[in-house]
């Protein structure tokens, strides 16, 4: 299975595809803001963690466009570039901020994708968001190469 990514817009046919914000809550605030949520990436390891809490979720069911494996997405800094397959280049913009709609899929799932650090800070585990720098086709099992940004690294924040 392949998906087509469009430079500066996102996944062709996806509800979040567009140059400016597409998410309903963000549209209501300012429809002219740039779309920093063009592509949603989620780490496959989260599915194992969720299964241990009784939430059986499969790739695509949390709205992600690309499922990764073996990459600690949440630990990558803002601006990290991901080369996906031979053509696509993504730039990470921030963390996915899950909303209560996730509980419509499975009750209690939102709490399961959130955690807290020892000092009480909220940890969002529902993946990361990116923009498409170079478009193209992405297929299952495509290689993903990680390029960290130069200079000082800024942790991902919700977008």
- Note whether residue 123 is domain-resident: no
83, part of any domain: yes
- Nearest CA among 145, 122, 129 for reference residue 79: 129
- Per the listing, tokens 């996944």 go with 11
Give the pLDDT of residue 32. Answer: 84
* Global confidence as pTM: 0.94
Each residue's pLDDT expressed in tens, for the chain with a length of 159 residues: 799 999 999 999 998 999 998 876 766 677 788 999 999 999 999 999 999 999 999 999 999 999 999 999 999 999 999 999 999 999 999 999 888 888 888 999 999 999 999 999 999 999 999 999 999 999 999 999 999 999 999 999 999
Q: Could you tell me if residue 34 is inside a domain?
A: yes
Question: Is 37 within the bounds of a domain?
Answer: yes
56 in a structural domain? yes
Q: 17 near 10, Cβ under 8 Å?
A: yes
User: Does 154 fall in a domain?
Assistant: no
- Is residue 32 assigned to a domain? yes
Q: Establish if 112 belongs to a structural domain.
A: no
Q: What is the CATH number of the domain that holds 133?
A: 2.40.33.20
Q: What total number of domains does the chain contain?
A: 1
Q: How far apart are CA 17 and CA 78, in angstroms?
A: 21
Q: What is residue 27's predicted lDDT score, i.e. its pLDDT?
A: 62
The sheet with strand 2-6 has its strands ordered as 10-11, 2-6, 136-139
Name the residue range of residue 92's domain.
2-97+128-147
């Amino acid at each position: 299975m392949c998906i087509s990514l469009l430079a500066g817009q996102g996944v062709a046919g996806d509800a979040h595809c567009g140059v400016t914000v597409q998410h309903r809550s963000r549209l209501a605030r300012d429809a002219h803001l740039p779309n920093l949520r063009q592509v949603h990436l989620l780490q496959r390891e989260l599915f194992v963690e969720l299964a241990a809490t009784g939430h059986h979720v499969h790739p695509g069911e949390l709205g992600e466009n690309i499922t990764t494996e073996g990459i600690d997405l949440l630990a990558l800094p803002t601006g990290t570039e991901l080369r996906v397959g031979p053509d696509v280049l993504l730039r990470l913009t921030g963390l996915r901020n899950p909303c209560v709609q996730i509980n419509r899929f499975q009750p209690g799932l939102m709490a399961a994708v959130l955690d807290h650090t020892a000092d009480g800070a909220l940890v969002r585990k529902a993946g990361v968001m990116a923009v498409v720098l170079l478009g193209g086709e992405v297929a299952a099992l495509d290689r993903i190469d990680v390029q960290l940004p130069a200079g000082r690294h800024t942790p991902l924040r919700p977008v």
